[in-house]
Amino acid sequence: MIFIMQKAGHVELTDQMEESQIDDATNISEFTPEMGSGPVALSVGRAKELISLYTMSQNPNMTHLNISKRCVLPPLWVRCDCSDAEHTCWLGAEPLKHRDTITGINLHIVTCNGPTADKTCFENLEDLKMAHRIRHHSSVVATKGFAQYELVRSTTLEDTIVESESNISIDITWNNVNKILETPPLTAVATLNIRLEPGDPRSPVFELHRELQFLLVLAEGLKTGVTDWPEPLVAESAVELVQELLNDLKNKLDGFNASVHKNAAEKVKCDSAAVDSSIKSLFSERGDLDFAEELWCKMRRSVSSYQDLVKCFTLVIRSLENGEIQPWIHQGSSSLLSKLINQTYHGAMEAISLTGITPIQMLLEIGLDKMKKDYVSCFIDQELGTLTYLDYFISTAVDLQEQVHRVQKLHHVLEILVSCTVFLHFKYENLFPLMQSCIKYYKENPLNEKHVFQLPIRPAIVKKFYQNDHAQKWRLEISSEYGQKMVKTVWQLSTRPPVEHLTSNNLGVLCDTTVNGNTEESMYFITMANCSQVHFT
């Protein structure tokens, strides 16, 4: 736990206010949170006063304060506005204690300058180490490096106004830094960070995502009673496509012929373009679509109204009742349509009224059945999971809305695996632990497409993607033992402002930041964090 002190916002004062009222208003504006306001920094002078008061409250030698019982407070950090010459953006104080006694305080100063592309503004490694030795009276120091590289980042698409926040980056740490901005050694410890928002039209599984979106439309319509039908993806009407499917079945002598069924399944696969050809080698398309799944493929691309839906199911139910078709379906299918088809095998089918939400629920159920099999088949074929391990995601023991929610989770996992395979060329030994991590997370948490999944990885596997690139963040940590605690000096370069309460108006520019148009040099913010210990006894 820590305390963060910041200014809440500006209070407008009138000429009629008394001096005492002005003082009260100023205090309120500094310490009272304001709904919806972002963090606002205090002046450096005011921040120093607060740190001083905090320090005195923790100092047992300040007997004149008449504090009957002292307690160790959490560390205090104060946002600063960089108004001093050093451009201080944070001041911090952290009590030091021995058992239950406060013995001193650790004072922190964080400064920030930039952005600049001029490397002559960067500190020298030996100078940083020497400054640390002098500040902390230490002859032995240890260095630790950290670098973050963006391996894959989505950009704004043409004709869109929303930028995807999908990103794959790698964090690398290592000991014994030899120079500023050095490339991490292959012996370093690395963690892959994967944040992926499904729905990018350039994704190899975009068609699957679009199929899932239609499923979500049905689920929302079932819940609210209002269905926002998407534009059809084909020119033919839903009724024409379903009648064509039924005619094919009527022409079969035995109701099901394996070779004919195979051809029909291949036709549907080609028609629906369920999976882009670029990942066919990664995730195989299913060639065993049953009648209900073929019906889904036809209808999800062509149905544009509730009336379409009713007409299509009327054709199907009539053909089943008249014995004109006796289609094959997968064993274990849980949809209402599958149950009706099963009943025809025994010569009797219950009457069904295609009114109200029933048609929408019927289509949702067959879509759920199909998509569950699609995802599970992908993962099992690649030996990334077992049916038992994936049972949580395909269970029918929960209501339809929760089943759809879990299918969404499976799609997010698939998008992550495909992206790592396509862009980072991951093999099974990396995909398997990533799959396990994603599945574990989604068994315990709701759908979160902004979640950052992490995977420990050897730098050598992805080195070719960052070795000639600029780091988005590069940090040096110098540490040594001092008194009761380890003390650190941190020097960091980052392509983004490291502090959320700073703007370009209060950041100091160290050097000329003009970059030659032909030179692709990164603009870096330079941040320094120093600490010093003050002992009370």
| CATH code, domain carrying 392 | 1.20.58.730
pLDDT digit string (tens) for 126-174?
A: 999 999 999 988 889 999 999 999 998 765 444 443 456 789 999 999 9
User: 38-47, 246-255, 331-340, 440-449: which range is least confident on average?
Assistant: 246-255
Last residue of a domain, one of 417, 448, 479: 448
Dist CA 44 CA 323 (whole Å)? 85
Q: Please check whether residues 510 and 378 belong to one and the same domain.
A: no
- Residues 233 and 371 grouped into a single domain: yes
d(CA 174, CA 274): 44
Domain containing residue 73: 39-122+496-536
**Span 36-88, pLDDT tens digits:** 557 889 999 999 999 999 998 888 888 777 777 778 899 999 999 999 999 99
Asked if 381 and 512 sit in the same domain, the reply is no
Using pLDDT thresholds of 50, 70 and 90, give the confidence band for residue 29: very low
Domain stops at, among 384, 418, 448: 448
Please check whether residues 409 and 505 belong to one and the same domain. Answer: no
> What's the sign of the alpha-carbon dihedral 49, 53, 58, 59?
positive
> Is 15 a member of any domain?
no
Pair 230, 376 in one domain: yes
How far from 230 is each of 90, 234, 305, 405, CA to CA, in Å? 51, 12, 9, 20
pLDDT for res 459: 95
pLDDT score, position 125:
95
Last residue of a domain, one of 387, 415, 448: 448
Which of 13-22, 220-229, 254-263 is predicted most confidently? 220-229
Please say if the pLDDT value at position 9 is more than 70.
no
Please report whether residue 186 resides in a domain: no
Indicate the pTM of the whole model. 0.82
Q: Is residue 284 part of a domain?
A: yes
Residue 328 lies in a domain: yes
User: Residue 28 has what pLDDT?
Assistant: 39
* Of residues 69, 70, 30, the one with CA closest to residue 49: 30
- How many Cβ atoms are within 10 Å of 249's Cβ, its own excluded? 21
Please indicate whether residue 67 or residue 30 has the higher confidence score (pLDDT). 67
> What pLDDT is attached to residue 33?
44
504 in any annotated domain: yes
Please indicate, yes or no, whether residues 501 and 423 belong to a single structural domain of this protein: no
Look up residue 527 and give its amino acid: T
Do 236 and 381 reside in the same domain of the chain? Answer: yes
Quick one: which of 207, 204, 377 has its CA closest to 277? 204
Q: Which of 315-324, 360-369, 400-409 has the lowest mean pLDDT?
A: 315-324
Q: Is residue 3 part of a domain?
A: no
Residues 400 and 529 in one domain: no
What is the 3-class SS of 171-224, one letter each residue?
A: EEEEECCCCCCCCCCCCCEEEEEEECCCCCCCCCCHHHHHHHHHHHHHHHHHHH
Same domain as 342, residue 237: yes
Residue 306: is its pLDDT beyond 90? yes
Number of domains in the chain: 2
What pLDDT band is residue 285 in, cutting at 50, 70 and 90?
low
Is residue 47 a part of any domain in this protein? yes
Give the residue ranges of DSSP H helices in 400-505: 400-424, 428-444, 459-466
**Cβ 85 vs Cβ 512: under 8 Å:** no
* 291 and 404 fall within a common domain: yes
Does a structural domain hold residue 422?
yes
Q: Give yes or no: residues 209 and 294 share one domain.
A: yes
Q: Is 393 in the same domain as 507?
A: no
Name residue, tokens 């069904």: 352
| Of 377, 288, 362, residue with least CA distance to 328 | 288
pLDDT exceeds 60 at position 366: yes
Percentage of the chain surpassing pLDDT 90? 57
pLDDT tens digits, residue range 438-478?
999 999 999 999 999 999 999 999 999 998 889 999 999 99
Mean pLDDT of the region 110-137: 92
